[in-house]
A and B are shown apart, each in its own frame.
Chain A
Amino acid sequence: MSAVCSLFQLHDESREYGMGDYEGAQARWCPGCGDHSVLSATQRLLARENLPPEKTVFVSGIGCSSRFPHYINTYGFHGVHGRALPVATGVKLHRPDLHVFVVMGDGDCISIGAGHWIHAIRYNVDMVALLLDNEIYGLTKMQTSPTTPQGYVTNTQPRGSYLPPMNPIEATLGVTNASFVAQTAEWVPAHMLATMEAAYRHPGFSFVRILQRCPHFTDDLFGELPKHPERVQLLVHEHGIDLEALEGRFPNRLAHDPADLDEARRLAEDASVIRLGVFFRDDSRPRYEETRHLPAYTAPEKLELLERELDRYAV
């Protein structure tokens, strides 16, 4: 489907964008915060795909991670806590010609925004949704999040988190019409970039959970992981991600065809190892914004149609 907005856009100069073109304000995350590496991977992706900054929109909620749009030079919408997805849906429904990315924290997406999250998966509107999961509430200073590991001590649950954590990959795979579900880690930048690229190229709602270090509050959760590649298993496949460069560092590899939903669910459920890769992908699922795409009309045409409509109510 051509997503041209008007003939004017046909004359926009085509030009090559570099990383520098996407540089926004100086990022104000803590030193060592994983959000920094997500930001640079994203900028690299945009440059690689040569996305015009004015045609790209980053929508976020509220949280440390949701500051993201400020630091990237595209259009950005830094909204309210938990509600980035409806805003992004509105943008894409009205303007299919824009490239839409959503950045959410784990509290943002999985807790307060859970309802929207489930429905966004089902709408399958073409956008990339990045869940920056540090397994804690960062901005509000270390409260339990739905993904905080059981027993983990936080300011709201000082005797340790009471319940087993929610598994966002498993949950996403359980929703009807899910079309792209992947997990990556910001301390494996090559994998993260490849994952984002696959997500961007997938037509539909691409859900990417990015495991993210928070040196300030949850250093003990992910901080040591970069030193323990054996705790990570890469899911590899030609239709998913298979990076030669990572072979040496991550010997634990499992061939997984992302077309296999049952296997994807089984792998997601098993928490014995951290799996990075594309769990599931189906490019043919119905997309809401495409189903609802309509031709455009000029004002005089609308008036004529409306006159005809009013005729039905004429006395």
Chain B
Amino acid sequence: MPSDDREGTTARVLTALTGSREAFDSALARTAEEVRAFLEAHSDPGTDGSGSVAARLGAFAGARIDAARFTDLVERGEPADRQTIHAAQEAWTGLVALRKRGTELYVARVPAGGDLTETVSAALTESGRGFALARAARFVRDGKGPTDQSGGHPLLPREWSTAERALAPPLVVEVDGADLRVGGLADLLEGGQKLVLIVRGPAPPAPLARLIRPWLLVAQTADPEGVDALGGFAGPAILALMPEEAAVFSHDPRRGSGYARRLLVEHVPEAVPVRAGVPRPTAAAEDLEHLRELWRLATLAVEGAAAETPPTAVTAGGSALRGVAAPGKPSEAAQLGSAPPESVAADLDPAEPHPADRLAGWLLEQAGLGAGGGG
């Protein structure tokens, strides 16, 4: 990763995350507009100012429509009490302010020596304010009156509902290799959550290996273009842009069932480079070993007992991250991925999902992300 062009890299990653950013952003905007609709319908139509009936009718109506009479006859409305209006207004202002933050909402930096999980959690709590504001506004809209669930209160990611998680705001995190403690992120990687770590300085070689689970897209790459792999994936994903010497692999649930299909290892360093600054060498070595072990399992599943030695640098078939296939076509996806030889891959029964995948499928279903299109 070119460390000299940090902003460029962040911008590149943000572009790759456009889909999930837009989904969250648009939901914020639509919610704000729904709150405005509520305000329009329930404010006192007699009030002056921009919300007045005359203003709403526009300049063409100006001299032609008698706004007072119009209010009298037509806009009789159902004015809500002042507290309700106030609460709705607060929600509106909060949502609009959140939108104003633009891409800044989706970027966080871990201060040197800081806690990665804490930073991520805090950043998500901040963008997740949108969920809190919407909850408050909905309460008001549905006539349940203003509550202390007011928009000002933060809503921790663990308090998000399944549906909220599915729409989770993505996050790009700049972090020093020395601060890469990713274990705590596992709890946050649910629903549609996307996390991209931009790692600077000396780093352990396979820090994300410990996060690999059947339903989670996990990838390490040194190539900023690699982040495009996240595009179009509906489930949770974490990707790290690592320094050159780190392991390069991707675990993509879209490739099918079983590690043999999903895991693609492009490069595994021989050992943890004994370099000044690589933190927690023991944990680093464990992560690396874990990756090797998984990869060996995957290869065993493919080649039977034939694969004795764990591969150190498998490059056949090109980039690990390119093995992404169209959703709904697992067998083809498996063929695009390089590791399992085609003939063997074809032998795996695609109709028989791994139990873990069934679980993942069920979880996705719960999150409203299951297979099956719209009507």
Partners in one complex: yes
Q: Could you tell me which A residues sit within 8 Å of B by CB distance?
A: 1-11, 49, 51, 56, 96, 99-101, 126-128, 200-203, 283-284, 295-301
B52 CB to nearest A CB, Å? 15
Interface residues of B in 27-41 (CB under 8 A from A): 27-34, 36
Of B29, B99, B137, most buried by chain A (CB within 10 Å of CB) is B29
The answer, yes or no, to whether B23 is at the interface (CB within 8 Å) is yes
**Cα of A47 to Cα of B131 in the assembled complex, Å:** 30
List B contacts of A101 (CB < 8 A).
375
List B contacts of A128 (CB < 8 A).
375
The answer, yes or no, to whether B138 is at the interface (CB within 8 Å) is yes
In the complex, are the beta carbons of A10 and B134 less than 8 A apart?
yes
- In the assembled complex, 12 residue pairs joining A and B whose CB atoms fall closer than 8 Å, in A order, are A2-B27, A2-B192, A6-B33, A7-B130, A8-B34, A99-B375, A126-B373, A127-B375, A200-B373, A201-B372, A284-B326, A298-B32
**Cα of A8 to Cα of B33 in the assembled complex, Å:** 11
In the complex, are the beta carbons of B135 and A100 less than 8 A apart?
no
List A contacts of B83 (CB < 8 A).
none
Of B25, B135, B163, most buried by chain A (CB within 10 Å of CB) is B163
B138's nearest neighbour on chain A, judged by CB, is: A8
Interface readout for B9-44 with A: 1 if CB under 8 Å, 0 if not? Answer: 000000000010011011111111110100000000
Q: Could you tell me which B residues sit within 8 Å of A by CB distance?
A: 19, 22-23, 25-34, 36, 95-96, 99, 130-131, 134-135, 137-138, 141, 161, 163-164, 166-167, 192, 326, 328, 372-375
In the complex, are the beta carbons of A10 and B328 less than 8 A apart?
no
Instruction: Name the one of B25, B30, B192 contacting A5, with C-beta atoms under 8 angstroms.
Output: B30
In the complex, are the beta carbons of B23 and A4 less than 8 A apart?
yes
In the complex, are the beta carbons of A299 and B33 less than 8 A apart?
yes
**Cα of A230 to Cα of B141 in the assembled complex, Å:** 60
B136 CB to nearest A CB, Å? 11
**Cα of A1 to Cα of B164 in the assembled complex, Å:** 15
A296-B33 contact in complex given A6-B134, A11-B163, C-beta closer than 8 Å = yes
A203-B29 contact in complex given A8-B141, A11-B138, A283-B328, C-beta closer than 8 Å = no
List B contacts of A9 (CB < 8 A).
163
B328 CB to nearest A CB, Å? 6
**9 closest residue pairs by CB, A with B:** A99-B375, A7-B134, A6-B30, A203-B373, A10-B163, A296-B29, A296-B26, A2-B23, A7-B31
